[in-house]
Chain A
């Protein structure tokens, strides 16, 4: 297992993609830090990157990585190693590299310019979303044989969670506007990791208190110990669920 993971990591590093991704993150973070000196503004700008770019790159990179390494995977499957180990080594390597890119990419500017707790939480959300979308991408990959198709499915996961789902929520809120919707919307947030990450982050910032009754209600929930515990638990479930689903399919898959 450890050996497999090592080879998978070597492979990724060799592809230079990880380096480019890290470099991109560093550049983005540095430019944001230089434009604004207010820490909460920096967090908000970084949040946009985290919610849009990170899931997209994670999804695409994980899918391409799976198919690029398909031959190696097939070769490994012919050896006396567990299917579980083969699968986990691949996905863990991807998740590790993606998370490392975020930690280094945003960590270096943070060391240079300083950070507060909100930026650290942002880092956690970035890692969480990378893991979720890498898992979803692997799920898409094991469901199909065709690389293009798998990328298509990964992209639709991304579009669904960052755009379509919100449209659905907006429509629901619009059509049920006459009812008290605070609690149902809270539940809806939990069904989308991107929304969950966004709300957790926004509640960390001072601004949420300025958003009237609803804002105050959400802050009350996410500010409490119960809310923090529940939201991180749900985020964790989101990180585990796609990976375990993908592993189930992978174990039975006929290559």
Chain B
């Protein structure tokens, strides 16, 4: 009896030992794919410094891949580099370069399918078509990766961080440049993006559709081809982001199309052709944002309703607001306008006369863009003055009844 017990004990010990994750070192010259195939579930692969010319490395079990001083994994311009379809895969410290350049399979640096609880951290991706590509996954952590690509044209590159049908994820501290869209989210819910630096991408810095209940906090979107464009989404929180230097004929700080029940708070819009362009948006709040030196701070199309703009700063914009109709169903209150010329007799820091942020010239330019040639001419100044005194063409309801005398102090942590 005793021997049987002992036997069981030894067996048990043996089993736990074999279940315990082991660490496998992959040396320069060895194949990562064969190491992955040999590894047991939950093992850790340490990839030593070197260059590994491999692609389509397929992982179908929980593994941790850690690179030592950024080993290079060169996809040799063929297909994907990593393909992952498993939960609990963690990838850290790799340098992945040269994926294929094809829309046929959406070649990506790392591509996840149907995965849960995965981490991609501290990786460098260069010259990838898509950078990190996730579909039908959840509980992802995408952190501190640096993605860059170079392409002349939009169709020559894919998205930096691409999530399709994902949820409950966390995207933090990544740097994305030179891709088509910096961050692309479609059917993604409950996801938080913070502290990302999205710069010089060919199309949009941030692009999402049908992605409800997400937040974007303290990100910077700079010099992207067409700025940021987000559509068909409800319950979005955008807080303390910076949108700057998005210049061009169709370039926007943010383009909001059919966004509802959302909050845009404490953001900085600087040096954009158009700060915010809104179409078909409802029930959203825009609070404590700073609009400085934009061509148009706000283009508020007549299809928007029940939005509130309060406590924002409008400073040194060519046009504060322009619109395309005479119906205004939105509220403006307690904003600071640097073009306000009213007075404050009772010293309550709120101007005693209302401010009309739409000038006659902005209405004209909205109708006929080439009239912009007359900007800052004496005639236009004169017309604007007359319109201010007796409004006839500009929408009567676009009015801030409580303009502030002093600007708000608005700053974000990521300046």
Binds B, one of A69-77, A202-210, A223-231, A233-241: A202-210
**CB proximity of A102 to chain B, nearest CB, Å:** 19
Asked if A173 and B379 make an inter-chain contact with CB atoms under 8 angstroms apart, the answer reads no
Chain A residues, CB < 8 A from B274: 212
Contact residue among A167, A173, A199, A218 (Cβ-Cβ distance under 8 Å from B368):
A173
> What string of 1s and 0s marks CB contacts (under 8 Å) between A180-202 and chain B?
01100100110000110011001
The listed residue with most A CB atoms (<10 A of its CB), out of B373, B376, B378, is B373
Question: Given contacts A166-B380, A210-B247, is CB(A177)–CB(B367) below 8 Å?
Answer: yes
Chain B binding surface SS class: loop
**CB proximity of A61 to chain B, nearest CB, Å:** 20
Question: Given contacts A210-B318, A216-B249, is CB(A44)–CB(B378) below 8 Å?
Answer: no
- In the complex, what distance in Å separates the CA atom of A87 from the CA atom of B122? 78
**CB proximity of A214 to chain B, nearest CB, Å:** 5
Chain A residues, CB < 8 A from B378: 51-52, 162-163, 166
Q: At the interface, yes or no: A2 with Cβ under 8 Å from chain B? A: no
Q: At the interface, yes or no: A174 with Cβ under 8 Å from chain B? A: yes
Chain B 242-283 residues near chain A, CB threshold 8 A: 247-250, 271-274
**CB proximity of B311 to chain A, nearest CB, Å:** 24
Question: Given contacts A41-B316, A215-B372, is CB(A170)–CB(B379) below 8 Å?
Answer: yes
Q: At the interface, yes or no: B415 with Cβ under 8 Å from chain A? A: no
Asked if A181 and B377 make an inter-chain contact with CB atoms under 8 angstroms apart, the answer reads no
Contact residue among A41, A174, A199, A212 (Cβ-Cβ distance under 8 Å from B369):
A212
Asked if B318 and A207 make an inter-chain contact with CB atoms under 8 angstroms apart, the answer reads yes
Asked if B294 and A210 make an inter-chain contact with CB atoms under 8 angstroms apart, the answer reads yes
Contact residue among A174, A194, A199 (Cβ-Cβ distance under 8 Å from B373):
A199
Contact residue among B318, B368, B370, B379 (Cβ-Cβ distance under 8 Å from A166):
B379
Place the interface of chain B in its size category. 20 to 34
- In the complex, what distance in Å separates the CA atom of A163 from the CA atom of B271? 30
Chain B residues, CB < 8 A from A170: 364, 371, 374, 379
**CB proximity of B106 to chain A, nearest CB, Å:** 32
**CB proximity of A148 to chain B, nearest CB, Å:** 25
Closest to A210 in B: B295
- In the complex, what distance in Å separates the CA atom of A189 from the CA atom of B372? 12
Q: At the interface, yes or no: B382 with Cβ under 8 Å from chain A? A: yes
**CB proximity of B45 to chain A, nearest CB, Å:** 49
Q: At the interface, yes or no: B155 with Cβ under 8 Å from chain A? A: no
Chain B residues, CB < 8 A from A1: none
- In the complex, what distance in Å separates the CA atom of A43 from the CA atom of B295? 17
Chain B residues, CB < 8 A from A189: 373
Question: Given contacts A211-B295, A213-B369, A215-B295, is CB(A169)–CB(B271) below 8 Å?
Answer: no
Asked if A209 and B370 make an inter-chain contact with CB atoms under 8 angstroms apart, the answer reads no
Chain A residues, CB < 8 A from B318: 207, 210-211
Asked if B373 and A210 make an inter-chain contact with CB atoms under 8 angstroms apart, the answer reads no
- In the complex, what distance in Å separates the CA atom of A174 from the CA atom of B370? 9
- In the complex, what distance in Å separates the CA atom of A185 from the CA atom of B370? 8
- In the complex, what distance in Å separates the CA atom of A116 from the CA atom of B250? 30
> What string of 1s and 0s marks CB contacts (under 8 Å) between B344-380 and chain A?
0000000000000000000010011111111111111
- In the complex, what distance in Å separates the CA atom of A41 from the CA atom of B316? 9
Q: At the interface, yes or no: A26 with Cβ under 8 Å from chain B? A: no
Chain A residues, CB < 8 A from B373: 169, 173, 185, 188-189, 195, 199, 214, 218
Asked if B372 and A214 make an inter-chain contact with CB atoms under 8 angstroms apart, the answer reads yes
- In the complex, what distance in Å separates the CA atom of A187 from the CA atom of B248? 23
Chain B residues, CB < 8 A from A52: 378
Question: Given contacts A52-B378, A215-B295, is CB(A174)–CB(B368) below 8 Å?
Answer: yes
Chain A 119-152 residues near chain B, CB threshold 8 A: none
> What string of 1s and 0s marks CB contacts (under 8 Å) between A152-186 and chain B?
00000000001100110110011001000110010
Closest to A209 in B: B247
Chain A 18-51 residues near chain B, CB threshold 8 A: 41, 44, 47-48, 51
Asked if A173 and B371 make an inter-chain contact with CB atoms under 8 angstroms apart, the answer reads yes
Asked if B375 and A211 make an inter-chain contact with CB atoms under 8 angstroms apart, the answer reads yes
Chain B residues, CB < 8 A from A182: 370
Asked if B367 and A44 make an inter-chain contact with CB atoms under 8 angstroms apart, the answer reads no
Contact residue among A181, A185, A195, A207 (Cβ-Cβ distance under 8 Å from B295):
A207
Closest to A166 in B: B379
Asked if A212 and B295 make an inter-chain contact with CB atoms under 8 angstroms apart, the answer reads yes
- In the complex, what distance in Å separates the CA atom of A181 from the CA atom of B367? 13
Question: Given contacts A177-B367, A207-B295, A207-B318, is CB(A212)–CB(B376) below 8 Å?
Answer: no
**CB proximity of B205 to chain A, nearest CB, Å:** 18
Asked if B376 and A44 make an inter-chain contact with CB atoms under 8 angstroms apart, the answer reads yes
Chain B residues, CB < 8 A from A44: 376
Asked if B376 and A177 make an inter-chain contact with CB atoms under 8 angstroms apart, the answer reads no
Question: Given contacts A166-B380, A177-B368, A211-B318, is CB(A202)–CB(B375) below 8 Å?
Answer: yes
- In the complex, what distance in Å separates the CA atom of A181 from the CA atom of B374? 13
- In the complex, what distance in Å separates the CA atom of A211 from the CA atom of B366? 11
Contact residue among B273, B376, B382 (Cβ-Cβ distance under 8 Å from A209):
B273
- In the complex, what distance in Å separates the CA atom of A199 from the CA atom of B382? 18
Chain A residues, CB < 8 A from B249: 212-213, 216
> What string of 1s and 0s marks CB contacts (under 8 Å) between B270-308 and chain A?
011110000000000000000001110000000000000
**CB proximity of A219 to chain B, nearest CB, Å:** 10
Chain A residues, CB < 8 A from B380: 166
Q: A166-B377, A206-B271, A214-B370 are in contact. List 12 more A-B contacts (CB 8 A).
A: A51-B378, A52-B378, A162-B377, A162-B378, A173-B371, A210-B294, A211-B295, A211-B375, A212-B372, A213-B369, A215-B295, A216-B248
13 A-B residue pairings within 8 Å (CB atoms):
A51-B378, A52-B378, A162-B379, A170-B374, A170-B379, A173-B368, A174-B364, A181-B368, A185-B373, A194-B377, A206-B271, A207-B295, A209-B273
By Cβ-Cβ distance, the 6 closest A-B pairs, closest first, are A210-B295, A166-B379, A213-B249, A181-B370, A177-B368, A209-B247
